[in-house]
Amino acid sequence: AEGLFVYGVVFGAPSDPNAAKHDALATQLWPAARVAASLLEDAPPSTVVEIGCGLGLPSLAAARAGSAALATDRDGVALEFVQAAAEDQGLSLKTARFDVDDETAPLPSGELVVFCDVFVTNAVAASCATRVAEALRRGSRCLVVDARRSTRDAFLSALRAALPGRDC
């Protein structure tokens, strides 16, 4: 049927040594992703980088709106989902492995960097704050959409420390 996209993925059994290592949180559609996608679907075209994309709904919306989108995640299975969705929908979208916690990895560049419901632990929230500060210092804009989980305070505290004198 027109407009219907069905995705099926088979993973190896846990006893399979070749089974994909996968974080189940990365392949769930979180409510904040819907909010971010709705904000991006009407945004003027730009270069968009989504950090911790999971299923990549915001990246897909950005690509559909004409932006050059890069969906990043540390989970390869999530990136396979995003790439399959983009191909099935005829969208041009790139994916790349990126771990927000890896301080040796440079933050991918984009005019807009999106962090959507990625504060899964206080440590990850603090790493995201460091990356937001990095993006802002280089002239990118940032869109942060979170679900007001307990880790939000760790993000805001780290962001204030990384951007002294700015209203956060």
Checking if the pLDDT of 161 tops 60, the result is: yes
pTM (2 decimals)?
Answer: 0.85
Neighbours of 4 (CB within 10 A): 6
DSSP, residue by residue, 105-121: SPPPP-SEEEEES---S
Q: What digits encode the pLDDT tens for the residues 33-91?
A: 999 999 999 888 899 999 999 999 999 999 999 999 999 999 998 999 999 999 999 99
Q: Which of 40-44, 133-137, 139-143 has the lowest mean pLDDT?
A: 40-44
